[in-house]
Amino acid sequence: MYGTFCDLTDSAAAAFDSDIQRVISCTKPEHSSEVATFLRAMPSHRQSDWYGKLFELWAKACATRSGFPLEFECGFANRRNCDMKIDLNGRHIHVECSVLTQDEEDQKVWEAFRKEKITSPDAVLVRPGEHCPENARGPSPYYESTRFYLKVFDKLAKGFDPRAAQFSDDHPNVLLISFTRPHRHGPGAGWALDELLISQPRIIHEADSPNSKVIGVTDKNEGPLSIPLESWVTVHAERLVQEGKLTPQWYGEHYNNLIATPRRLGAVFIFNDCKLIEARINYNSLPACRITHREMVALERIFSRKVPYWDMVWQRI
């Protein structure tokens, strides 16, 4: 990745270097060496190995330019931390960054198509098609919902443990999620976001019961019948039990806390790359975690900054 950034125009390289320096200057000494580690990524590395850190760098640089007091890498008692804490008029807003990149299946399909394109210039990528594996999971909005749930719950309750959150119970929490190229925010993520921000738990109708076919475990020809959060939580918990990572007794005792963890979210911001395309307030958040409309306006201004190096990086990958 370092070579890619070295190929930027002078103005784009200067903007990129300025962002790195700004973030390092506000980062605690023990974490400063981690700011630009993504530049070491090799072409063989997965997109997620470097893209998450690039998006985090951009978001932190935006915050440093806001003029609000801030702190990076804020630790919690559970030994997890959030990416930054911004002081908006006396309220501490915890902000965590995350990304959704191409999954391994998509990457393999794309690489197979690129090889075909060398010998057959007129070839067109069709999915599902000849490059897709048997029982391919995507492309599917239902599979996208699964990935979105997994990404958010990694922040809310890592390992399905509500105590292992990267958010506070006493202050507003904001999650920034970026969809990278060629992956884009689609309807599946929107469905999952709707579920996360409504009042939980709900009564599951018979057609949406945990025993019905749900995302992640359906036959690709029949398709999934439901995407409720409660159904997904039940199916994922069963999978963790089968893998020996969770016990039925523990899950039963902590289910209510687990299903209520999205209430820690005060707001969710959705990006395509670094372009803000949607910002949602969670009106069902815990009282201490609620975000005001005035705070949402301030946060939208902070994270709407355009940078000259972003598109250039993608043109060179």
SS (H, E, C) 210-245: CCCCECCCCCCCCCCCECCHHHHHHHHHHHHHHCCC
Residue 210: the pLDDT is 47
Residue 182: the pLDDT is 59
Judge whether 27 and 73 are in contact, CB under 8 Å. Answer: yes
Judge whether 314 and 181 are in contact, CB under 8 Å. Answer: yes
Residue 213: the pLDDT is 43
Judge whether 233 and 246 are in contact, CB under 8 Å. Answer: no
Q: What values do phi and psi take at 278, rounded to 5?
A: -160, 140
Which stretches of the chain drop beneath a pLDDT of 70?
1-5, 43-45, 104, 106-107, 109-110, 113, 126-128, 131, 136-139, 181-185, 200-226, 314-317
Residue 138: the pLDDT is 62
Residue 225: the pLDDT is 42
Find the helix or strand (DSSP H, E) in which 281 lies: strand 275-281
DSSP at 158: G
User: What are 311's two structure tokens?
Assistant: 């598109």
**Torsion angle of alpha carbons 51, 4, 1, 314, nearest 10°?**
20
Range list of H helices, the chain: 2-6, 10-26, 48-64, 104-119, 141-156, 187-197, 229-242, 248-259, 293-302, 309-316
Q: If you count DSSP H runs as helices and E runs as strands, how many of each does the chain have, helices first?
A: 10, 6
Q: What values do phi and psi take at 51, rounded to 5?
A: -70, -40
Name the pairing type of β-strands 275-281 and 173-179.
unpaired
Place of tokens 């005060």: 266
Say what percent of the chain tops pLDDT 70. Answer: 80
Sign of CA dihedral 286, 288, 292, 297: negative
pTM for this predicted structure: 0.83
How many other CB atoms are there within 10 angstroms of residue 302's CB atom?
23
Place of tokens 């019961």: 209
Amino acid occupying residue 51: Y
DSSP at 164: S
Judge whether 228 and 142 are in contact, CB under 8 Å. Answer: no
How many other CB atoms are there within 10 angstroms of residue 199's CB atom?
10
DSSP at 9: -
Sign of CA dihedral 12, 270, 148, 19: positive
The CATH architecture of the domain made up of 52-105+139-200+260-305 is 3-Layer(aba) Sandwich (3.40)
